[in-house]
Structure 1
């Protein structure tokens, strides 16, 4: 990412983003599950803590990790693609000075990377939503996927190939905003901190930049995240089109598009922080050297 004050710097390998995001997802998965449950309910009165306690009481602590394999599948597709394309494109545009290219170029590259990542990650994302949501419905209505791959094959057999990409438009739009909010803002905020003279390229700087990026990304993506989650969890034919889904959600008022915002931020902040901390450590110890 950002160069140290030496004649050499280490560059992230294309797959580091997927590995870092997967590690972060393992830690934050229970928070993601709570967020999905809040987004898929029409009753806006249930709070995150009360919902978490209810899940643990009824089904045990392991229920908070429902759909973990799907979450990992999503990160290994979605995040590997967006981080890999972002880093490769940035190096192509800026070469040895890639970190100093204008912010608007970083944002454009991030948006393009997010679009690709969001699309290829849609099947894993959909299975993730369904597996997490399974524990809140009656047993007779549960899909009971054994794991992520089983879910992908069952959707393909039972609902068709196109159903695997249900919600792809909202997932892609969300991924564009998420990648801009996380990657380009992280890069830019980190550069600003380093140039201030009060920060070094260390854990404190990585933490500060990623926390700010997580807050920005949550605010930018929450409306699309709500719509994406509802579209992926919907029964076939439940919503006629995207406008039907929007109007259905709008019945809750403007805040209906920000359902689950607090758990989304509580989940995305550590997710973003851990992702970049892991990514920086991977870069530092296993990245390839680039001479200035």
Structure 2
């Protein structure tokens, strides 16, 4: 009988499908997080509107190739590792909440390191339009960005900001994946009939929506720090933190929360819906193969 366990790379494919749908929101989030102006700051819609009016509709998909490369590294590793670590810890038994969080934390750390080069290119490509024309990097696509960084700054530059990025990935995966599994199990098994759901699209959407809200709030500070560090060529995390706290106050750590949630909420829903559908298709295909 064929192995019915879904392939490791399903998470990367599902995340790429979700990212292709929500990329403009990700672009707005990064631009808001890296905006250091002291005057009134534009909101998400104004950020997108300004980009469209200045450079056309294609501008809000700037960096899409880097976003896809990020999902095919970061998300593939973190989601695939999460499932593998969870299975190893539980050994076939029902996982506890602490086991889910531990699985997510370890998997997130691995994914954060794997996806760091693509994350740097993504941040730079999505903020390139904010720079003066003479200072724009002009990466044609994600691999071109990786190559130019290695040529101009050295291979180690691809790991710039890896610490806040890995911390964010640990927080993201442990909160997002664990919350989804906990919510899904709760709605499937609760004794409150008005809350109980069948395993299907509605259950996946509700559980992933809650997971997106929790993950956005927990990850916001690390996400802002990561974006600002990756957008820079020089300077340490300490220098950036000191300057940002002095000029903007501690709430800078939650700058861009609204577009982050508006982006991460739908992205999380789409991610888990696509992932569950891929798993169901895999189960059906392997069952049919076994029957034949």
TM-score normalised by structure 2 residue count: 0.91
Q: Given the alignment, which residue of 180, 205, 208 partners 2:206? A: 208
In structure 2, the gaps of 5 or more residues are: 288-292
Q: Given the alignment, which residue of 118, 125, 134 partners 2:128? A: 134
SS in 2 for 1:266: helix
Partner residue, 1:115: 109
Q: Given the alignment, which residue of 223, 226, 234 partners 2:224? A: 226
- Please say if 1:259 is aligned against 2:255: yes
Contact 1:10-1:284 at 8 Å conserved across structures: no
Q: Distance in 1 between matches of 2:34 and 2:81?
A: 32
Q: Given the alignment, which residue of 254, 264, 281 partners 2:277? A: 281
- Please say if 1:78 is aligned against 2:74: yes
Shift of 1:10: 5.9
In structure 1, the gaps of 5 or more residues are: 1-8
Q: Distance in 1 between matches of 2:249 and 2:54?
A: 31
Q: Distance in 2 between matches of 1:103 and 1:82?
A: 18
121-130 or 41-50, which moves further after superposition? 41-50
Give the direction of change, closer, same or farther, for the CA distance of 1:79–1:27 in structure 2 (3 Å limit).
same
Q: Given the alignment, which residue of 26, 36, 39 partners 1:42? A: 36
Q: Given the alignment, which residue of 161, 172, 180 partners 1:178? A: 172
Q: Given the alignment, which residue of 98, 106, 120 partners 2:100? A: 106
Q: Distance in 2 between matches of 1:52 and 1:68?
A: 15
Q: Distance in 2 between matches of 1:11 and 1:110?
A: 19
Shift of 1:254: 2.1
The alignment yields a C-alpha RMSD, in angstroms, of 1.4
Partner residue, 2:142: 148
Q: Distance in 2 between matches of 1:125 and 1:209?
A: 27
Q: Distance in 2 between matches of 1:112 and 1:136?
A: 35
Contact 1:210-1:272 at 8 Å conserved across structures: yes
Q: Distance in 1 between matches of 2:75 and 2:175?
A: 14
Q: Distance in 2 between matches of 1:104 and 1:248?
A: 37
Q: Given the alignment, which residue of 94, 103, 110 partners 2:90? A: 94
TM-score normalised by structure 1 residue count: 0.91
SS in 1 for 2:91: helix
Shift of 1:255: 1.5
Aligned residues: 276
Partner residue, 1:249: 244
SS in 2 for 1:12: coil
